[in-house]
Every structure is written in C-alpha cells, then in structure tokens.
Copies of this chain bind each other. A is one copy, B any other.
Amino acid sequence: MSRTVFVNGEYLPEGGAKVSIFDRGFVFGDGIYEVVPVIGGKMVDKAPFLERLKRSLGELRIAMPMSEDEFVAMHEKLIELNGIEEGGVYSQITRGVADRDFAFPAIGTKPSVAAFTMKKQLIDNANARTGVKVVTVEDIRWKRRDIKSIALLGQVMAKQAAVEKGAFEGWMVEDGYVTEGTSSTAYIVKDGVIITRPLSNEILPGIRRKVIKQLCADKGVKLEERLFTVEEALNADEAFLSSATTLVMPIVEIDGHQIGGGQPGPVARQMREYYVVAIKEEADLG
C-alpha cells in the first residue's frame, strides 16, 4: 500500500511526491533531517526532537518554513493518514530551490519540506531480544557531525561496509576511538558503568542519548561521558546502541568478538526497559 507523504504543503501518494532537481537538498545535500519515534499512534521524545531540529536549522541558517505547531500538526496528520501505530516520521528541510550556486540563494528563498512515515515495531523488536552485531569502520565524515544534515554519504558508505560484513550497524572509529554508529549512538558497559562519548562537533547529539543520560540520573545508573577505544569496547562487559527506531539495542558481537558471552547484557536490557516505560508514559500507554 502506498503511503501518503508530505512535500511542500501537499499531502501526496509517495509515488508522486517530487522536488525540483534544483532543490539544494538534491544538488548540495544542503538541508537537515529528523526522525521522531511513534508509539500508540503518538510521537514520543517530541520536545528534544523539535529542539534538535531547530538547532540544526540554526547552525545552517535555514529558516523554519512553517510554524512549529504546523510542523507538529503535519506529523500528526501523516501518522493518522497512514495509520501508524508504531514506527516513526522522517522529516527533511532543505534550503530550497535556486539556480545552482554554492553560496546561499537570495534571502526569501523558501526552504523545502518533505516528510514520510515508517511502520516499524519499536517495542516488540526481535533484534532487541537476541542483540545485534556491529563492526568497526573508519570515520571519514566531515567535522560538523553535530549538525543532523542530509549530506550523509560518509554514513552511507560506512553502513554499506558494515552490512556487507553481516553487521547490523557500523561503529565509526577516529584516532582509535569510537565516535558513534552510522545512524546511532554507541555505548559500552564496564563494571556496571555505562560509557559513551562526550558531546562535541565529532558526534550527533543523540536524542536517545540525552534521554538515557537522564534515565541514568533518575535511576541511579552510573554513566561516564568519555572517549573509549575499540580495544576497550572489545573487552567491555556489554555494549549497546540507541537511535529513534531502535530505542536501546543490545550488542552481542563487535568485529567478530563476542561481547557479554553473546547475550544481551543486564544493563542494556534494564536501560531498554526504562526507555520503553518512559515513552509509553509520554504516549499515555503507561
């Protein structure tokens, strides 16, 4: 069944949703995106989603082309039109259509907006029960990874390399340290302490990361923000990743080495449980 998607003010069948070849998203990767999870037909982690969206736009000096209320209402309409109980909404805002020139187009050029839904089991996820495999790949991305831009070719290449090695995700490595996954945040657990890289221009400020950090504070789980090496990851008691559509996902193998005896670890399982409870509350499914 064809989805109904949103593009520049219109709700259209996905096959007919198009943008100009002069859209700066198409010729330059000049835009940003977000993915907001949906459970029980409702967006969750909604506040940090809107906050990060505005931050990315601000860093690239792209104006928000519709009000925040309209943007949220558009998401809700897509969820309803496509009968999304669980999954997510992807949205993308680019600098708009202009004759091709690297420098920004004239003031007043209207940013383009496109959005579509994804149907996916977020809570009852088979991968979360078994855990997933990751492999390390070189981090060849640009230096403003804190901006959630659509210029994602580095991530595409890294993810493809990981998939070809039979992995669920690639952990990108720079100067011997893990930065993050191609579309997720990276964590290891040692002696009961969760370790994840501090925020900087080198990684995306993960929304799930932010929520997990708060959950740790609330629940008395120790979380240390510091760099960690591949070696440390291989010798960790546990490892996991987080993202909009995986929530908290245990890792049981890194570069062919079993982690935690090849089973999802207790800390990762606990954090996933905390996470699910928190978003169920937000969606009034508590």
A 1-45 contacts with B by CB, 8 A: 5, 7, 14-15, 17-30, 33
A182 to B103, CA, bound (A): 10
**Chain B residue with the shortest CB-CB distance to A159:** B102
A163 to B101, CA, bound (A): 11
Task: Determine if A100 is an interface residue (Cβ-Cβ < 8 Å).
Answer: yes
Q: Is the CB of A100 within 8 A of B90?
A: yes
**Chain B residue with the shortest CB-CB distance to A104:** B160
Q: Is the CB of A140 within 8 A of B142?
A: yes
Task: Determine if A143 is an interface residue (Cβ-Cβ < 8 Å).
Answer: yes
Proximity bits, A136-157, B CB within 8 Å = 1, else 0: 0000111110000111111111
Q: Is the CB of A142 within 8 A of B153?
A: yes
**Chain B residue with the shortest CB-CB distance to A18:** B18
Closest CB-CB distance, A70 to chain B, in whole Å? 19
Q: Is the CB of A103 within 8 A of B14?
A: no
Query: Which of B29, B94, B116, B144 makes the CB contact (< 8 A) with A150?
Result: B29
Can you name 18 extra interface pairs (CB under 8 A) apart from A27-B33, A141-B142, A142-B153?
A7-B21, A17-B22, A22-B116, A25-B27, A27-B92, A28-B29, A28-B153, A29-B29, A29-B150, A29-B151, A29-B153, A30-B153, A102-B182, A102-B183, A103-B159, A103-B160, A104-B156, A151-B153
Could you list which residues of chain A lie within 8 angstroms of chain B, going by C-beta atoms?
A: 5, 7, 14-15, 17-30, 33, 60, 90, 92, 94, 100, 102-104, 114, 116, 118, 140-144, 149-157, 159-160, 162-163, 182-183
